[in-house]
Homo-oligomer: A and B are copies of this chain.
């Protein structure tokens, strides 16, 4: 569904948000450890998220990653997915035609658009803050 990069990105952003709620800035090392991701690859993804103004990075000693409460409230998962995977999930044809186009649809188009729209709406309506809800109380997890 999503690329590995995108999966790591979503998990990383969620962990950063969770810790930022407690005012804790987190290091790359801690993030990779807590979401069980390859550390150097995760660094690249966080650079990308930082450039896209999704998380804030602070260099130097006592540096790390954080995200403000207002930001995580406004920020939707779709923005993270978009920054990493682009719009292929929303725009791509299920059978791989160059573009999904209702005027020249593939045989699965009519059935496929609904599912894709549900996914899009889910991502556009879910904030990063919502993602942290179950984590503190141990109802949801970022690694296993």
> Which of A111, A112, A118, A130 has most chain B Cβ within 10 Å?
A111
Q: Which residue of B lies closest to A4 (CB)?
A: B96
Looking at the complex, which one of B94, B104, B118 makes contact with A141 (CB distance below 8 Å)? B104
A63 to chain B, nearest CB (A): 26
A122 to chain B, nearest CB (A): 5
Interface residues on A, range: 35 or more
Question: In chain A, residues 68-85, which have Cβ atoms closer than 8 Å to a Cβ of chain B?
Answer: 77
Q: Which A residues are within 8 Å of any B CB, using their own CB?
A: 1-2, 4, 7-8, 10-11, 14, 77, 89, 92, 94-99, 101, 104-109, 111-112, 114-115, 118-119, 122, 126, 130-135, 139-144
